[in-house]
Amino acid sequence: MLALLCAVALAGDFEWNWRNQEVIGRTDTSLSNTSRLTGPERNALLDAIIVRLMKPMAEAGYDDDRIREVASTTRLRFVDLGEDKQVILATELGSEGGCDTLGNCPFWIFRHAEDGYVSLLDAVGASYTIQPTSTSGFSDLVIQRHISSGESSLTLYKYADGKYADAGCYAVTWPPPKDGEAQDPEIAPCKAEQPK
């Protein structure tokens, strides 16, 4: 019980079990080789991902064929975010697809609809945590984004009006490891930006 309490970081009413965070990586199936989608479903999801990659990649000088090729390498994870709330978590893994040097990458959540895939979340992050709480039948989520080796930011997302919306921001400070073990981070609400 004490170990569980130590693993949960607190900031006001916000709780985050940092040991439960997950990363979509190279061992996850890619859009081009998943067997969980039919041909039409794969094409519809590919189109939804291309829409998200088109502007930044075209501005960086990539042609349509390369954008399509990069989109086809998107890694997928099929998860249930509540009773009968099947979704696809998707991310790019390379700099071409929008990852930065700290490992923060585009992170999307899609849900299948009659006319293709609906985006429930467009974010950027390094890891995600499915929270034990839920809103409107969908699990709440925390997306962690690396700022430096010792600092991260967390965004709490809750489901509302057909998509995930930002419901809180938290700053995380990671202490140095002790005896080779990661230590519980300090978490505080993000500071409000001062008006200019």
Structural domain spans, the chain: 2-18+26-189
Distance of CA 78 to the CA centre of its chain: 13
Q: What pLDDT, in 10s, does the model give residues 89-122?
A: 999 998 999 999 999 999 999 999 988 899 999 9
CA distance 38 to 136: 29
Mean predicted confidence (pLDDT) in 156-160: 97
Residue 126: φ, ψ to 5°:
-105, -30
**Is it the case that residue 1 has pLDDT exceeding 50?**
no
- Position 115 scores a pLDDT of 87
CA distance 86 to 83: 8
Q: 9 pLDDT band (50/70/90 cuts)?
A: low
Q: Is the dihedral of CA 172, 178, 181, 184 positive or negative?
A: negative
- Position 3 scores a pLDDT of 38
Whether this model's pTM surpasses 0.85 = yes
75 in Cβ contact with 90 (< 8 Å): yes
- Spatial strand order in the sheet of 151-160: 127-135, 138-146, 151-160, 163-173, 186-189
Q: 196 pLDDT band (50/70/90 cuts)?
A: low
Token code pair at residue 109: 């959540």
